[in-house]
Structure 1
Amino acid sequence: MRKIWTGAGATGLAIFAAPARAHLASTGFGDFYDGIAHVLITPEDLLVVIAAALLAGQRGTAAARLAALALPLAWLVGGLVGTRWQLMSTQPLLTTSTFVLAGLMVALDRRLNVAAVVTVAVIAGLLHGLANGPTMTPAGIGVQGLIGAISAVGVLTLLLSSQIAALTRDWHRIAVRVAGSWIAASGLLMFGWLYQSAT
């Protein structure tokens, strides 16, 4: 008898549940906040922002400042192109590759110059913007959601990269490298999951 009531309760909850939206969270506060939430709950977007910020912070204050501008601006350009032409609606391999490579560069503590760090930020921003644009258009949040997303990207990049650039102790830098290795490892797990779901 208990199983019948449990099944009936679950069925009732399923019937009266709010509609689900694939890949885009609805906060109930408007399009701008939906865009912010999108970045914070989408693993590939959040991890690429963290990885790019760690990489920029490792290379010093100049790289941190420029990456905090380059990443959200490139994300905006990619997003605007993506909402208009929808060139890259689902490319999880590309978006996963960006944070895997950035995480590996952080883990290896590569001595990149400022231009190389900015290039990484621009490429990551363009690819993730192109991937985000098509997901926001069908949900009806469009440019306002995109502005929310790039606001989150800009704030996170600025806060993280500036904190990392201020670190001076050796064990702090080792902790940053470990974080980069975990980001890269997460991407490798995601590659495995993508391969498994494709077969």
Structure 2
Amino acid sequence: MRARSALSILALAAAACALPGVASAHLNASGMGPIYDGIVHFGLSPEDSLPVAALGLYAGLRGQAHSRLVLGVLPLAWIAGGGLAMAGAGLPAVALSAVTAALFLAIGGLLAANAELAPRLVAAAAAALGVTRGLADLAGVAPSLPHTGALIGMSACVFALFALAASLTLPLTRLWMIIAVRVGGSWLAATGLLLAGWIWRYGARAV
């Protein structure tokens, strides 16, 4: 009986924690400044952080040339996409959602397969991811210093997360470790499939 009561209390507590207190569209207002708002937004957006982490793990497996090139391209592409969005450019919500889902699945698949791609092709995929998510994150906002600061915060998170993920796989030489990372990539691809279905179903609100 005590065990059942404890489980019931835990279930109620978990349900209470899952209830949102505030719903925010696009950028989250943290009250700690625009740069921190961008950091919070990136951290609370799995459609942003998961493909960046997967791309970092993949680039690390492929070597230093891939990692260094993508480390420079990805944050700059994110800034470019956000700048285009603030300038009024953009894609229809459904198209943007479809591109995001396709990139998520492609990056997860590349990691799972450990595909041998040239650095420039990986950089092109990184540029596509950065521009797409930058457009999505800043869609519908007006040019302003706070929004620019939020974009800087996001791009800093992109840089840091990619560098951390790549540093985890770059020194790996043992086969079983590489296989473990690739298995993780397959799970990321599966998560991407679920996320793709969610974005496709609720695309207009997801981005």
Pairwise TM-score range, normalised by the shorter structure: 0.7 to 0.9
When the two structures are aligned, how many residues end up with a matched partner?
182
Partner residue in 2 for 1:97: 102
Preserved contact between residue 81 and residue 131 of structure 2 (Cα < 8 Å): yes
Partner residue in 1 for 2:64: 61
Preserved contact between residue 97 and residue 200 of structure 2 (Cα < 8 Å): no
Q: Kindly state the Cα deviation for residue 142 of structure 1 after the two structures are TM-superposed.
A: 1.1
Q: 1:136 to 1:156 in 2, by over 3 A?
A: farther
Q: Kindly state the Cα deviation for residue 135 of structure 1 after the two structures are TM-superposed.
A: 5.6
Q: Kindly state the Cα deviation for residue 154 of structure 1 after the two structures are TM-superposed.
A: 0.6
Q: Deviations over 1:59-99 (max 9, x none)?
A: 10111111111100111111100111141373222212211
Asked if residue 29 in structure 1 is aligned to residue 36 in structure 2, the reply is no
How is 1:1-199 mapped onto 2 (pairs within 5 angstroms)? 20-88=23-91, 90=93, 91-134=96-139, 137=142, 141-197=146-202
Question: How far apart, in 2, do the equivalents of 1:185 and 1:77 lie?
Answer: 29
Question: How far apart, in 1, do the equivalents of 2:92 and 2:147 lie?
Answer: 14
Q: 1:117 to 1:139 in 2, by over 3 A?
A: same
Q: Kindly state the Cα deviation for residue 196 of structure 1 after the two structures are TM-superposed.
A: 4.7
- Segments of structure 1 that go 5 or more residues without pairing to the other structure are 1-16
Q: Deviations over 1:127-163 (max 9, x none)?
A: 1111112165499831100000000001111121122
Question: How far apart, in 2, do the equivalents of 1:179 and 1:152 lie?
Answer: 21
Q: 1:141 to 1:94 in 2, by over 3 A?
A: farther
Preserved contact between residue 56 and residue 64 of structure 1 (Cα < 8 Å): yes
Q: Kindly state the Cα deviation for residue 104 of structure 1 after the two structures are TM-superposed.
A: 0.4
- Segments of structure 2 that go 5 or more residues without pairing to the other structure are 1-19
Q: Percent identity?
A: 38
Q: Kindly state the Cα deviation for residue 166 of structure 1 after the two structures are TM-superposed.
A: 1.1
Q: 1:89 to 1:76 in 2, by over 3 A?
A: farther
Secondary structure at the counterpart of residue 168 of structure 1: coil
Preserved contact between residue 52 and residue 120 of structure 1 (Cα < 8 Å): no
Question: How far apart, in 2, do the equivalents of 1:21 and 1:182 lie?
Answer: 29
Question: How far apart, in 1, do the equivalents of 2:126 and 2:202 lie?
Answer: 29
- Could you state the TM-score of these two structures normalised by the residue count of structure 1? 0.82
Question: How far apart, in 2, do the equivalents of 1:123 and 1:116 lie?
Answer: 11
Secondary structure at the counterpart of residue 134 of structure 1: coil
Q: 1:173 to 1:78 in 2, by over 3 A?
A: same
Q: Deviations over 1:161-186 (max 9, x none)?
A: 12211111111111211121111111
